[in-house]
Copies of this chain bind each other. A is one copy, B any other.
Amino acid sequence: MLIIMQPKARQVDITQVLNRLQEVGLRGELLQGQERMVIAVIGEVKSAVTIPFEAMDGVEKTMLVSDIPRAAARESHPAPTVIRVQDVEIGGNQVIVMAGPCAVEGESQIMDTAVAVKKAGAKLLRGGAFKPRTSPYSFQGLEVEGVKLLKEAGKQNNLPIVSEIMAPNQIDLFVEYVDVIQIGARNMQNFSLLKEVGRAGKPVLLKRGLAATIEEWLLAAEYILNEGNPSVILCERGIRTFETATRNTLDLSAVPLVKELSHLPIVVDPSHGTGRWRLVAPMAKAALAAGADGLLIEVHPHPERALSDGFQSLTLENFSQLMGEVRRLAECLGRKL
């Protein structure tokens, strides 16, 4: 961290800053120029960032030279992290597709979907049991029964399952039944929940918040890593912008940028990212071309009857067709499906 002093800063101002740093166990080194004086903070910046130096006399502003999280940072771990879920590896050379309905709605719906996505080449089965709905009057999910139906459908098709957790008291249920615990976009900064899944020791799929910067997203991952759980899969699913033609704005630049900043695997959800099923296939392919490690795709046997997100779900046929395109593209990019 650098503390930039005002041109008119007095000696007493500088001393005050240096003393304040000492109080929290840091050392400030005065870099003295003709026009400017800058104090470089030596030591663990962690203790310094909480101090509002800008409220002190003579200080113009502070600047963080590097504010990327530590455990998630590429430099702390140069090789990419590969996360193993049963016999599936996420973050390696293979492109991993996770597919299934937005919500588990009943036995035949999830069973039919599981059979079809397995056949088409998906490696994990996704499905929501506890649903975060904007309105309390919308369908809230089958809850415990939904988790069990999803597990059963996964087991019969040899597909590990991904499902969203919504509250800390669901953790035992998820540890028992779910293979990859999803943290939804609305809970990306639900820090209590992050710590809980951090302690649970199961792989976590961390969706980016609607208004979260990439830095905040990596810091949310840091909450999980910091509890001793190294298995975090990031999932870009669109951010909220002024554009209303799509449900969200899928920020694919996040893919290569996260790859540069972090060693964690990143997958993309073009279903939520666009909110329109016709855009899912082109954006799925774009995500791969941008370097994503996998895709999260909503599939439903009857989108027109889905209890949620029918607009953005692919039919089983459309999904199967997309997988053919994904396979060819992955090969062209030097990866396999």
Contacts and interface: CB of A to CB of B under 8 A. Distances in A.
Interface of A: 2, 4, 20, 29, 31-36, 38, 40, 42, 46, 49-56, 60-61, 63, 65-66, 69, 132-139, 166-169, 186-187, 189-193, 209-211, 213-216, 219, 222-223, 226, 239-246, 249-253, 255-257, 260, 273-274, 276-279, 282-283, 285-291, 303-311, 313, 328-329, 331-333
Given A42-B33, A211-B210, A65 B255 contact: no
Contacts of A290: 282-283, 285-286
Contact of A36 (B65, B242, B282): B65
Copies in the complex: 4
B240 A242 contact: yes
16 contacts: A35-B40, A46-B137, A50-B138, A50-B308, A52-B304, A52-B310, A52-B311, A61-B65, A134-B219, A167-B193, A186-B191, A187-B190, A214-B245, A243-B251, A250-B253, A286-B289
A34 to B, nearest CB: 6
Given A65-B60, A286-B286, A328-B332, A136 B38 contact: no
Nearest to A138: B50
Contact of A186 (B190, B253, B282): B190
Contacts of A282: 255-256, 289-291
Contacts of A277: 55
Given A132-B191, A167-B192, 13 more contacts: A2-B36, A33-B42, A50-B139, A52-B306, A55-B303, A60-B65, A167-B168, A169-B192, A186-B190, A214-B245, A241-B242, A245-B257, A289-B289
